[in-house]
Amino acid sequence: MEGDVVASDVPSSSGRKRRRRSQVSSATSGTRAADLKLSDYAALSAPVLAFTLAHFFGGAAEPTAALWFTALIALLMPAMIILGDRRDELGLIWPGRIVAGLFALVLLVAVWTLVAPARGTSTPWANLNGPGAITWDKSSTLIEIAKLCGLAGLFSLGCLAGGRKRRVAGAVRIILTLGAVWAAVGLLLIIGGASQGLEGLHLTTGGRLTSGFQSANSGATVYGILAVLSVASLARAIRNLRLGRTPKRSLAVGAALACVLLFTTCLMLTASRMGVAATAFAIVALLVWETFSRKERPSRRLILLALAGATAAVFSIGGADLLWSRLENVDSDAATRGVIFSVHWNAFLQSPLFGHGLGSFSAVNAQQMTPENYGALRIIGAAHNVYIQWLEETGVLGALPMFALIVLIIATAIRRSALLDTGATLQRGLIAANLVLLIHGATDYAIQVPSIAAFWAYLLGLQFAYGKARTGKPSA
């Protein structure tokens, strides 16, 4: 995947112009790759290593682990600026007034639920003589506010890396490399039988691959993101071969193909129905977008990618049996999800403006239990729908700014992808990866796992700032 920043990603209306640009890019790609110094790789690796290691330990989902993880993120910002000697690039961190304003509004609503009078509400604080609160769980709300600030820090680190295209390519290589190590270690421990002595790592549950998460569905979300990024990297590597075959370019194709196979195999072993569906949709969307963005015949590249996907399916056949057996339970699981969604949608309607407070799901869930819905609610720790849970916890005034913030970031990334003269395929891959989280988030809670949320925040920062310096346009 070296030499990613080449003109082979440039749609050209003239074969002569394309060859001329290719020659120029071929001469300069080595220089651009060499521009990344050891300090750059260290600065890019630190945040990726942090949330990849957290994947192994339950995603830092426990409150104490989440706070330590957030503290580490907070320390990364000054450390990366000093280590990478990027004090002259601090302007890249600023996302713009609208993005910053929307995030500030989310935090303001969360803080308001801590300090606003509780009179007239149904919270436990309403009948106390002391200071009241709208939120049901003050300590959890404080933790969630701290976690949001940590995610903002990771988003800023992503922006710092995304402002320079060569660093984005380096960051994606590091993400795929460390992700491959994470996936391979989990697989090897299971295959070798060593996982039996490592129950605390949660490598499997119910025969499904989790690789450290408490839920296989959470693992599926991460594997899906990595699979989409691998396909984008494979598409670019294959396209770069048109500049001429070299050992480095051939190695890039092989490495990307290996990642596609590995992550697809792991995804199938999670037996996550919606995780597989969301990933497949994201990859199809990426390939369709890539095809219609090119003014040339994509047949050879698409054939190779299709073969890679077919090979991955063959390699992952071991997980197919469990996946197919779980498809037989779709109706019963959908009925259970329906009960959860209905109960917590009604809970949102009970406090539609400010919600019940960030992190108050468990308290609200216990309050909503009845003999009729006890079976569906008794063991859950999340609503299994990130949109309903955000509405329930923050109300319309907190959820809509957050939803608008995500839409604005992705829309800005899409707009900037059309302005890129090089590296557009990688940007499209980063954008398509969002679909895995957004689609799977409708039926599961992976986005609410701290390490996965951190992963996404970093990817959002990368794609939001990608090409920002080249276009010379201010942020929205």
pLDDT tens, position by position, 20-74 = 444 334 333 333 444 677 777 888 888 999 999 999 888 988 888 888 888 888 8
Q: What is the model's pLDDT at position 57?
A: 86
Report the pLDDT value the prediction gives residue 202, as an integer from 0 to 100: 67
Average pLDDT, integer, range 89-105: 86
Q: Is-contact 394 354, C-beta < 8 A?
A: yes
Output the pLDDT for position 128: 56
Better-predicted residue by pLDDT, 166 or 17: 166
Q: Which residue has the tokens 């899409």?
A: 414
Q: How far apart are CA 177 and CA 263, in angstroms?
A: 11
What is the residue extent of each domain of the chain? 59-471
Residue-averaged pLDDT of the chain? 80
> Strand, coil or helix: what is 383?
coil
* pLDDT surpassing 80 at residue 3: no
Check residues 79 and 135 and name the one with the higher pLDDT: 135
Mean pLDDT value across residues 260-275: 89
Q: Is the pLDDT of residue 18 over 80?
A: no
pTM of the model: 0.85
pLDDT in tens, 62-94: 888 888 888 888 888 777 766 655 666 666 778
Q: What is the mean pLDDT of residues 176-196?
A: 79
- Going by DSSP bridges, is the β-strand pair 208-209/204-205 parallel, antiparallel, or unpaired? antiparallel
**Residue predicted with more confidence, 189 or 121:** 189
Has residue 424 got a pLDDT over 60? yes
Give SS3 for 342.
helix
pLDDT reported for residue 1: 40
Task: Point out which residues pair with 208 in neighbouring strands.
Answer: 205
What is the distance between the alpha carbons of residues 232 and 175, in angstroms, rounded to a whole number? 13
pLDDT of residue 219: 92
pLDDT surpassing 80 at residue 461: yes
* Surface-to-core class of residue 114, CB atoms within 10 Å of its CB (0-12 exposed, 13-18 middle, 19+ buried): middle
